Structure 1
């Protein structure tokens, strides 16, 4: 037999001196807690597996972010699985809070599909957060992680926690630390919101989405610290009064209910009217600030071409969400550019209407038969609510010649973004207009995805989006010059 081959010791793993000493674990607790504060709560708890030294550290992190929305789309239409995930989520939060020993909270965030059946548990979580003088409070309870739910199923913010039903509680000063208040799919009253406005001297941001109990809200007084206000899809809202404030950003979906005056710092506005918002009804309530705006975002059902825009002397970015289910020309939307000589960025979002639609009552688990659905109405014999969840839409494509407008040099326009691109003539001729007139154009972004937000994308939707993507490449790659960056998402 031959000699046994021996492996050279050169191939043996050598110990690295730096691995013999765990220098990170030797850091003071304050620094370790600071490091863990950049992780999610789930990631932070996993560090306790490293060694006994790390076991108690995560319990003191000041940022509790309970975000578990990622798997929601997988169980959207399965009522039993949703309930199971809800119970699992509640147990996770309860166990974590029971072990937490932090005395002050920078952030407390609940981000999951929870409804009124979790009222008791969420109440207890809020008590925990306020007792630790939370600075950023977020209750993001959107159904499926994306949509506001039926108001009757929403969790209700406990007014008694603030002492509004009686005298102020002994620990009322715990609320004074709040800087950010975000409530989505949470029923909250104007009285509760005004309590935060007037008792939280550091409150800079307030966001309310999908509240069914918000009727009246007044944001009045120069002493308010508030910089960002967002009131969205609160359909019972009758009056939103904003006066004598230092607001910088305003987002509202009830234009006809808005009363705005004396807001000299306001430079960014996003606004929409009712289900079929008319442009004049959108701009009228904010007419006093149009000349000072730098960013304006609107939603309109009557297009932009038949409206004479006022002068936007400082406007740099304009975003329009337009309902356009026929293949009619979009060139009229460029009229706003003539009123905004300094405009640098133009974005058009096209909503696809005129196709198959299905409704799903997410909380009750009841499904309706698919039917043809159009803007603001349904076919005879079928009642489809205006806020129904439309799963997919198919735009209509018509063969016609491209139209042209009179040339108008666009001297500052740098970025064009066209969302909901389906490869129709109306979209192609709009891009050609910008290519011919935008002198300093740098980038064109084409987004073929549907602009209707739904938790579940059907196979038909995905197929349509891919078809739109193919149309965009076929139509535009040969038209856009190399100096302009073309991005097709």
Structure 2
């Protein structure tokens, strides 16, 4: 028995037949965790994946791994139908992670009592993808990339939903798919793309949501405070952690926004942690942060990260000097604008600038 097996190579350093042999070795070893990573992390991936998974054995269309519980695929080719077949031939399979893979255009998973899938994540795959998930005990779902269609139905145990798509104006449709899991959802992460309009978001009531991460990738403010944060306050009465991520590529000088009257909207009663990432000190940044701080009555911690989120993983020495200067300016702006506000509105809260 081999509990965990990892195949990790740069595809340019190895031919396909060698990987085939390693997979043949795995089939009869009762592997529980299998990782197939054909980008070794030291080299940038500049071409599409070229290794087809899974390997055909004994005239079977899909490798049968009866003991498999977790599967990690990175930089390989995964064809339509493979995920579904794996879930039926590997009855213990509960975790699937697919990163930077090619070949998939649709995933259709369903069948309570038939499959054991609990966690599914699909990140930065090549091409458009349509996803339909229904009638299963899924607990967490993550998707980042281009999305053409998303359909959820009867997912009563879904606790974590994380989506970062590139389709402008798709937010309302994505949120509408949560109707079958509103009572179970505890953590939600989604992005807003394109122009913000009067009818931007229709957030369903999420009574048990504890953590919300909102990524704002937009060139317009519109009525951001009026129709975004206020609707979140109404929809998520038990929110404890609220994270807002802002893009630096949008214009630095934008008009000051005024939030609509909130006399009839209850404050953030349960909010304990508020984080704003990508805070630059623009008027809209301050107004948004101040709005949350003003309306949170139980804050314990406020974290401001002035770094550009798109460059956060890049070596400091490789970042353009102008970006570093902007970060320093953003840090000083955050201290000047928000430190006294937090001390005044939430005297016991810890204020942190990264």
Based on CA coordinates, which of the two structures has the bigger radius of gyration? 1
RMSD: 3.0
| SS of the residue 2:103 aligns to | coil
State whether residues 156 and 180 of structure 2, in contact with CA within 8 Å, keep that contact through their aligned partners in structure 1: no
CA distance in 2, matches of 1:162, 1:194: 18
Shift in Å at residue 400 of structure 1?
5.6
Secondary structure, in 3 states, of the residue corresponding to 2:291? helix
Q: Closer, same or farther in 2 for the Cα pair 1:339/1:146, shift >3 Å?
A: farther
2:268 equivalent to 1:406? no
Q: Helix, strand or coil for the counterpart of 2:294?
A: helix
The equivalent residue for 2:49 is 154
Distance 2:324 2:57 in 1: 47
| Consecutive unaligned residues in structure 1, runs of 5 or more | 1-103, 354-394
Q: Say if 2:88 is the partner of 1:198.
A: yes
The residue number in structure 2 matching 1:464 is 326
In 2, Cα distance between the equivalents of 1:117 and 1:228?
Answer: 32
Name the CA distance, whole Å, in 2 between partners of 1:338 and 1:233: 33
What does residue 434 of structure 1 align with? 292
Alpha-carbon distance in 2 for matches of 1:264, 1:468: 43
Please say if 1:351 is aligned against 2:247.
Answer: yes
User: Residue 462 of structure 1: CA displacement?
Assistant: 3.6
CA contact (8 A) 2:252 2:282 kept: yes
SS of 1:429's partner is: helix
Do the aligned partners of 1:414 and 1:441 also contact (CA within 8 Å) in 2?
A: yes
SS for the counterpart of 1:190 is coil
Tell me which residue corresponds to 2:205: 311
Task: Write the distance in 2 (CA, Å) between the matches of 1:351 and 1:146.
Answer: 27
Q: Does 1:266 align with 2:158?
A: yes
Q: Distance in 1 between matches of 2:155 and 2:255?
A: 47
Q: 1:480 aligns with which of 342, 348, 354?
A: 342
Counterpart residue number, 2:111: 221
Q: Distance in 2 between matches of 1:186 and 1:396?
A: 38
Q: In structure 2, which of residues 190, 197, 200 is the aligned counterpart of residue 298 of structure 1?
A: 190
TM alignment of 1:120-139, pairs within 5 A: 120=16, 121-139=18-36
1:235 is displaced (CA, Å) by 4.3
Taking structure 2 as the reference length, the TM-score comes to: 0.82
Task: Give the secondary structure class of the aligned counterpart of 1:259.
Answer: strand
1:249 shift after superposition: 0.8
More helix by share: 1
Partner deviation per Cα, 1:272-318 (whole Å, 9 max, x = no partner): 44343532232233333334322111111144863332222222211
Distance 2:176 2:221 in 1: 29
C-alpha contact (below 8 Å) 1:330/1:426 kept by paired residues: no
Structure 2 gaps of 5+ residues are none
CA drift at 1:111: 5.7
Q: For residues 330 and 213 of structure 1, what CA distance do their matches in structure 2 show?
A: 38
Contact 2:52 / 2:77 at 8 angstroms: preserved in 1? yes
Q: Distance in 2 between matches of 1:397 and 1:184?
A: 37
Deviates more, 1:224-233 or 1:129-138: 129-138
Q: Which residue of 2 aligns with 1:331?
A: 225
Contact 1:272 1:282 in 2 (8 A): no
